[in-house]
Structure 1
């Protein structure tokens, strides 16, 4: 495998859509999936590739000069659990630090939901240094309680 990460750039929406559709247990809400795909056209987006094949991507949203959010991160089903998400996120964090960012947040499904797939997601973010800071039980809907997690990526 010859891996390379590129971005930020506007990437092929078709590539990002293919990645999201490969993991329907995480991206099974069509409206949300299409919104994530559309966002890759306007948000800073990084892609990890094996040659020309896109294996994963992360899109970032800026809220304030020092505060950013992961809009979407996904690794293709055939490439999961090989460290690619870690590599991709670390690459994006280095770019954020160069932009002057201090904090990176992410929203995911809270542990009050019995969804086993999102237990994996929370564990990934915890391994990456994110800390749970608040649950918003109805931000999305009662079946999908929102957990906000935060990581300090650079000290002021």
Structure 2
């Protein structure tokens, strides 16, 4: 079941537990801590299963018409069970209801790292379309792929 979490401390606790378990994607501690702190102020959706949380997704505004899927994580033992898709579907509904016309997400460009190739394929499977690659947005080793979708 996908639920919206309002409590800032609960948002931080859920995101910390999940992101710290996903070091293949969130290995840089200062970036991970930034996500954990920032998510307290963003729209926060969580996948609840048997009283525990298997994943979460945060949306933030990046323009008057655009919401960004700012951070998302699903515990590895729950990968490929549809939780990520359900989170994205609920995020699309929430963004549309909030009046946004587009949703975007940033990730590392396809072909750089196996973990991020799976992430790219996931976003494409959710209906995102390639928008643009910014080779130096993060750094040379991590070209930023931006995906978008109309809501």
In structure 1, the partner of 2:36 is: 37
Instruction: State how many pairs are aligned.
Output: 149
Please tell me whether the aligned partners of residues 57 and 75 of structure 1 are also in contact (alpha carbons under 8 angstroms): yes
For 2:94 and 2:134, how far apart are their aligned partners in 1?
29
Alignment match, 2:50: 51
**Secondary structure at 1:12 match in 2:** helix
Where does the alignment leave 5 or more consecutive residues of structure 2 unmatched? Answer: none
- What is the alpha-carbon distance in structure 2 between the residues aligned to residue 135 and residue 112 of structure 1? 12
Cα pair 1:63 1:69 within 8 Å, conserved: yes
Q: What is the RMSD computed on CA atoms of the aligned residues?
A: 1.2
Could you list the per-position Cα deviations for residues 65-124 of structure 1 after superposition, in whole angstroms to 9, with x for gaps in the alignment? 3211011011012211100000011011111111111100000001252x0000000000
**Following TM superposition, where does structure 1 have runs of at least 4 consecutive aligned residues deviating by more than 2 angstroms?**
8-12
TM-score after normalising by structure 2:
0.93
Does the 8 Å contact 1:19/1:56 carry over to 2?
yes
Q: Partners in 2 of 1:91 and 1:12 — Cα distance? A: 17
In the alignment, the residues of structure 1 paired with residue 5 and residue 123 of structure 2 have an alpha-carbon distance, to the nearest angstrom, of 21
| Structure 2 counterparts to residues 1-156 of structure 1, below 5 A | 4-7=1-4, 9=6, 10=8, 11-113=10-112, 115-153=113-151
User: Between Structure 1 and Structure 2, which shows a larger proportion of helix residues?
Assistant: 2
Aligned equivalents of 2:72, 2:22: Cα separation in 1:
12
Structure 1, unaligned runs of 5 or more? none
Shift of the alpha carbon at 1:12? 3.3
Deviation at 1:8, TM superposition (A): 5.1
- SS of residue matched to 1:40: helix
Q: Is 1:112–1:145's contact at 8 Å kept on the other side of the alignment? A: no
The Cα shift of 1:18 comes to: 1.1
